Amino acid sequence: MSFGDPNNPYGQPPQQPPAAPGYGYPQQAPPGVPPQGYGYPQQPGYPGYPGGNQMPQSMPGLLVTARVFLFIISAVQIIMGLAWLYVAAIANDVSDAADDLSSSSDDPFSAIGEGGNVAAGMLAFIAFIVLGLAALSIILGVKFNKGGQGIRITTVVYGALGTIVGLILLFIGLDSGLATTIIFPLIWVTFGAIITAAPVVSSGTAWFARPRY
């Protein structure tokens, strides 16, 4: 009997065809490709954005810088607001003292008292506006972690308005010719430009549009 005879008990046993994968067993995937099939959930895919194929897992560096600038601006605004309130309190004290010294409506002290009341009111109004802007700066900086498109748009508008104000002050400083009147507006323009640009670039857009679970 030849070894090729299927009835030969001493011959090589016939080869069995490869078994097909049964139910519940995933097929072998090529190297580098995660196995998929029953029992293996497929990995969710997220849409990419210009400049990258994945959603950012951490806050981009430019946004971190803009956030720090917002907190610095809020500190300056708080100091300015408290200073305006202090000056308003001084104006109010001067007005009260003038009213005490006034004997009639035609008295010069009466005019000083009325002017002091108006000045105190205006200074207090300015102080509350500055303190309100400080609160907005803090809120925007804090909301960078979980904020969406609303925070992004508000930050862009806020930064653009701050840049415009800084440019106006910079032009006034350049016209005066004093170096001390140029430094602060120049810093303000730089801060405003970075705060405006950070949410607009591709990394900032992807950060505010990322899915939240």
Domain of 175 in residue numbering reads as 143-213
> Could you say which of 120, 141, 162 is where a domain stops?
141
pLDDT by 10s per residue, the chain, length 213: 445 555 555 555 555 555 555 545 455 555 555 555 444 444 444 444 444 445 557 889 999 999 999 999 999 999 999 999 999 988 887 777 766 666 555 555 565 667 767 888 899 999 999 999 999 999 999 999 888 899 999 999 999 999 999 999 999 888 877 777 888 889 999 999 999 999 999 999 999 988 866
What is the helix, strand, coil percentage profile of the chain, to 5? 60, 0, 40
Euclidean distance between CA atoms 139 and 155, whole angstroms: 10
Count how many domains the chain has. Answer: 2
Euclidean distance between CA atoms 129 and 85, whole angstroms: 11
Q: Is residue 22 part of a domain?
A: no
Do 126 and 160 fall within a single domain?
Answer: no
Three-state SS at 49: strand
Do 128 and 162 fall within a single domain?
Answer: no
Do 131 and 170 fall within a single domain?
Answer: no
Which residues, including other chains, have CB under 8 Å from residue 168's CB and lie 6 or more apart? none
Residues in the chain: 213
Q: Is residue 169 part of a domain?
A: yes
Q: Is residue 80 part of a domain?
A: yes
Q: Is residue 33 part of a domain?
A: no
